Amino acid sequence: MRKFGFLGLGAMAIIALAGPASAAGDADAGRAAFAKCGICHQVGPDAQIVVGPPLTGVVGRKAASYPGFTYSPGMKKLGDEGYVWTPENIDAFIADPKKLLPASPMSLAFQGVPDAAERANIIAYLQTLSN
């Protein structure tokens, strides 16, 4: 059996804290944080297109694929390229929409969510609304 010194255990603890478990997010906190998204996006079984498409089922969905919504050219291009809204891609987009789509309506109107924990919470909430 291998023994770890103090430094080894400390390094293991840091790695464990930085891993996926810490990025899991809190869906209940995400529901409250989603209020800033809810200005333009609805969720739930009766969600309608408002300014943006409904985000029910967005996790795992191909970009620009919600039926009946008119997407920006940049978002359509992402969808045509097969871009999928994985948790990692959602995180990057809501952190800084302008980085992914500089001229899209969302990136012009929404500055992003700078706090990583808040983004993780929003994504955890969206995951409860996806298959």
pLDDT at 131: 72
DSSP letters for 32-77? HHGGGTTTT---STT---SSS---TT-TTPBTT-STT----HHHHH
Mean pLDDT (whole number) for 79-91 = 98
Is the separation of the CB atoms in 111 and 13 below 8 Å? no
∠ CA 96-100-101, rounded to 5°: 105
Each domain of the chain, given as residue ranges in start order, spans: 25-128
pLDDT value, residue 124: 98
**Once rounded to an integer, what is the mean pLDDT over residues 28-44?**
96
Nearest Cα to Cα of residue 75 among 67, 65, 86: 65
pLDDT at 20 (0 to 100): 36
pLDDT at 60: 98
Determine what percent of the chain is predicted with pLDDT higher than 70. 82
Instruction: Using a pLDDT cut of 90, give the percent of the chain over it.
Output: 76
Stated pTM of the model: 0.81
Contact in structure between 123 and 91 (CB atoms under 8 Å): yes
CATH 1.10.1040.10 fits 25-128, yes or no: no
CA dist 45 and 57 (Å) reads 10
Q: What is the pLDDT of residue 3?
A: 41
